[in-house]
Structure 1
Amino acid sequence: MTSILIKHAQIVTMDDNDTLLTGDVLVHSDRIVAIAERIDETADQVIDAAGKLLLPGFVQTHIHLCQTLFRGRADDMELLDWLKERIWPLEAAHDEESVYYSALLGIGELIRSGTTTILDMETVHHTASAFRAIEESGIRAIAGKVMMDHGTEVPARLQERTEQSLQESVDLLEAWHGKANGRIGYAFSPRFVISCTEELLLGVRDLSRQYRVKVHTHAAENRGEIALVERERGMRNVVYLDHLGLASPDLILAHCVWLDETEKEIIRTRGVKVTHCPGSNLKLASGIAEVPDLRERQIAVGLGADGAPCNNTLDMFQEMRLTALIQKPEQGPTAMDARTVLRMATRGGAEVLGLQEQIGSIEPGKKADLILLDLEEFHSYPAYDVDPYSRIVYSAGRSDVDTVMIDGRLVMQGKRLLTLDKTSVLREADRSIRRLLGKG
């Protein structure tokens, strides 16, 4: 059992009382065992964090690692054209190697910017390659293969048979769920209603209950998407999912930009979770989700960057800043304050994933998923008597992340990645996208 003692940090705990203190944190194996102003125990490794902020690692509740290779190849488009003209053809071209390096490229960016846990939706094929990248990198992840057995404008290679899609998902779940000391989990991932038959969605409902895992899908992201669902299924997205018995505390819905009153109440009463993706929603011109209203209804809302081709960055600092700012013109300056937003990025994300007893705050007994920020920079000063939540959400950036620990293991220290070979990943990612585009 290894131990790490972090000394002299400014600790932002995100516990029930939002405790702030300057002191020490002791980690044994994968767990936090003590927090105090001073800890005198010996440890295998001591980190002097004087002048640095220690906080829980960020939790992103909607990511597409398989799309990281497509960054910059689908700019300035709206959702349905973005999918049909660019993303689906590129996903259809993926092979085992390209999914692996796409995942590593995304994970490297996520770790460098302080994200320690993700909910990831892959593509139809080669999801085991993404799980391999997740396992090797040390990131905490719940992931699943995307499921698509319906639609007329889908590339042939992405069109699945219903039973095949369900069986492949179960096979992946049984191979990966709970691996790496429980760091890896599985979620059934039907893409969205217009890509799935009713038979598939009912199968997902039954299997998620059988295996007691999450269901991760998109809903109410775009008005064109909603019109298609209404035309095909005779009701709106969330109403339809509730009609099928999928609306439950295990359902996680990405985006939820265009919910009506009935859908909001279904989400509230059924305990459905929501992921807010402001960068993606703005870039795809989808709209601005009514996050303050959802939170007033006691709906759990997490944050996610979505995929690199609809955001171009997987940076949680950008998502936090956008989450705070975009509501203020309509809802007022206090609508989304910095402390609320940081909670969404940490403990709130853990709640969305059902991991709130494990991660999301710095407390004894919880997993040691921690990040150190070095804010000794021009852009984050003066520091005297400035609210730390303000410094993190409004001033800090990904370049300020100094050290990242996941499951008690240092995966980055002194801004140097310890589990990934940056030069190799960048080279192989470029080689992979050249191959997919038929350029080499």
Structure 2
Amino acid sequence: MGSLLIKNAQIVTMNAQEEIINGDILIRDSRIEAVGPALDETPADRVINASGRTVIPGFVQTHVHLCQTLFRGKGDDLELMDWLKKRIWPLEASHDEESVYYSAMLGIGELLQSGTTTIVDMETVHHTESAFRAIAQSGIRALSGKVMMDKGSEVPLALQENTAASIQESVDLLEKWHMYDSGRIQYAFSPRFVVSCTEELLKEVQKLSVHYNVHVHTHASENRGEIAIVEQETGMRNVIYLDHLSLANERLILAHCIWLDEEEKRIIREKGVHVSHCPGSNLKLASGIADVPELLDAGSSVSLGADGAPCNNNLDMFNEMRLAALIQKPIHGPTSMNARTVFRMATIGGARAVGMGHEIGSIEAGKRADLVMLNLNHFHTFPSYDVDPVSRIVYSATRADVETTIVDGRIVMENGMMKTIDKTTVLREADASIKRLLKKTTIMH
């Protein structure tokens, strides 16, 4: 890939001191070689003049569903279990290889254009290989895995799995894709949630997670109805049950965690479980508001995710940051979730959640070059004089301000133009795919 020098930028480093400096970034191949003022231009194959631009670490979203991007607008105004049973499960059951591929490409295009460089992705039951191909071709960094569902009521036949087959397919995908492209793609076991997984499957996932040293990504405590089902079936609440199965550890990423009791909060804190807060999805599905300030004050790991396009309806980290800050203030006071806290969750906090805090999430020499260049020279982000840049990013900026996105030292979008995805083709085939799926499935209204 050669070397790239970014000159004269405002750099929001998110290093240990959270320094904001004016200077240069030298990238060699996939890594940041140097950060500082007035770096020498001579070793660089290409120089980008970033005067008047702000460079930030790429956002890390710790909960998305690329396979659901095609379903944007098809799951509006429903609560979780109805949303799943009436709309999302039937649509997922209708997926084919091509539709999963273009659903993933559609989502990745949106993510890269809005500054997200790393995702934790949960696919559907079948055709996960298509999503991995899209991830590989697009250049985004991802932890991904096929969803696992071997029990549950009102689950379409095409999503009902045999336990052993679900596990074997997951292992086969892991052994093919885990650590692809020098670790840009990693595998994460993805049991959907306790409601749709047998204890046998979850126990095996725990063993395999230890054996392969990979993450487990699942949903927990998103909805009171979901919790009631889990308690009826297991006699325990979600997080307590997962801990009972030895799944509660630093490799576990739990999406949502809105309705936690004190024992569950203790387990999350003491076992190092990572919580992915998805405020946009939680509001749209009327699920509730997670007590993120309390989790953070206790020292728990909390990062951000958009969830899926049919329950958000976008994959925009700027939207999630702003919501994450604002929804807590009427409850906990105006200082409860300040801009720095939220930006930390979106960058280095997400990096730590995926076990890559030493590699991504901040702009420092030696780390992977996952960077985003913003143009904040607009009416909605001015005045700039004597304003904290992080405040401008969290409270004022939008995804339209993302100018260039770099993943692993590779420019995947420059001046708003995608370099790795053919936008015209993806938009055309996305429409063709959802049209085809709707013809062969029935969604309830």
Q: Which residue does 1:178 correspond to in 2?
A: 179
Cα shift at 1:4: 0.2
Tell me, what secondary structure is at the counterpart of 1:287? Answer: coil
1:9-50 alpha-carbon deviations (Å, 9 max, x no partner) = 000000000111111000000000001111013211111110
Q: Which residue of the partner structure matches residue 351 of structure 1?
A: 352
After TM superposition, the structure 1 = structure 2 runs for residues 322-337 of structure 1, keeping only pairs within 5 Å, are 322-337=323-338
- Distance (whole Å) between structure 2 residues aligned to residue 403 and residue 134 of structure 1: 19
TM-aligned CA deviation for residue 285 of structure 1: 0.1
Aligned residue number for residue 409 of structure 1 = 410
Contact persistence 2:101–2:133 (CA under 8 A): yes
CA displacement 1:226-278 (0-9 Å, x = unmatched) = 00000011110001011111111111100000000010001111111100000
* 1:146 to partner: Cα distance: 0.2
How many angstroms apart in 2 are the aligned matches of 1:222 and 1:89?
A: 20
CA distance in 2, matches of 1:244, 1:56: 36
- What are the Cα deviations for residues 372-406 of structure 1, in whole angstroms up to 9, with x where unaligned? 00011000001111110110000000000000000
CA separation in 2, counterparts of 1:379 and 1:8?
Answer: 23
2:371 aligns to what? Answer: 370
**Partner amino acid, structure 2, of 1:184:** I
Distance 1:180 1:243 in 2: 36
**Map of 1:309 onto structure 2:** 310
Distance in 2 (CA, whole Å) between partners of 1:355 and 1:80 is 33
Instruction: Name the structure 1 match of 2:30.
Output: 30
- The count of residues paired between Structure 1 and Structure 2 equals 440
- Residue 299 of structure 1: aligned partner: 300
Q: Which whole-Å CA distance do the structure 2 matches of 1:114 and 1:414 have between them? A: 12
Secondary structure (helix, strand or coil) at the match of 1:216 reads strand
Q: Give the gaps of 5 or more residues in structure 1.
A: none
Counterpart position of 1:48? 49
C-alpha distance in structure 2 between counterparts of 1:46 and 1:21, whole Å: 19
Counting only pairs closer than 5 Å after superposition, residues 186-225 of structure 1 correspond to structure 2 as 186-225=187-226
Bigger drift between 42-51 and 161-170 goes to: 42-51
Q: Partner residue of 1:2?
A: 2
Alignment of 1:253-332 (within 5 A): 253-332=254-333
What one-letter code is carried by the residue in structure 2 that aligns with 1:401?
Answer: V
For residues 197 and 242 of structure 2, what CA distance do their matches in structure 1 show? 11
2:15 corresponds in structure 1 to 15
- Gap regions ≥5 residues in structure 2: none
- Measure the CA separation in 2 of the matches of 1:177 and 1:46: 33
Deviation at 1:298, TM superposition (A): 0.7
Could you tell me how far 1:87 is from its partner in structure 2? 0.1
The alignment's TM-score, normalised by the length of structure 1, stands at 0.99
For the residue of structure 2 that corresponds to 1:181, the secondary structure is helix
Amino acid at match of 2:220: A
Letter in 1 for 2:385: Y
Secondary structure in 1 aligned to 2:373? strand
Letter in 1 for 2:117: T
Look up the equivalent residue of 1:6 and give its one-letter code. I
How far apart, in 2, do the equivalents of 1:81 and 1:191 lie? 16
**Separation (CA, whole Å) in 1 of partners of 2:395 and 2:20:** 18
Partner-residue secondary structure (3-state), 2:374:
strand
Q: 4+ runs of 1 displaced by more than 6 Å?
A: none
Q: What is the TM-score with the length of structure 2 in the denominator?
A: 0.98
Shift of 1:439: 8.0
Secondary structure class of the residue paired with 1:356: coil
Give the whole-Å Cα distance in 2 for the aligned partners of 1:275 and 1:329.
21
SS at match of 2:439: coil
**Deviation readout 1:188-239 (Å, 9 max, x if unpaired):** 0000000000000001000010000000000000000000000011110001
1:396 aligns with 2:405: no
CA-CA distance at 1:182 after TM superposition: 1.1
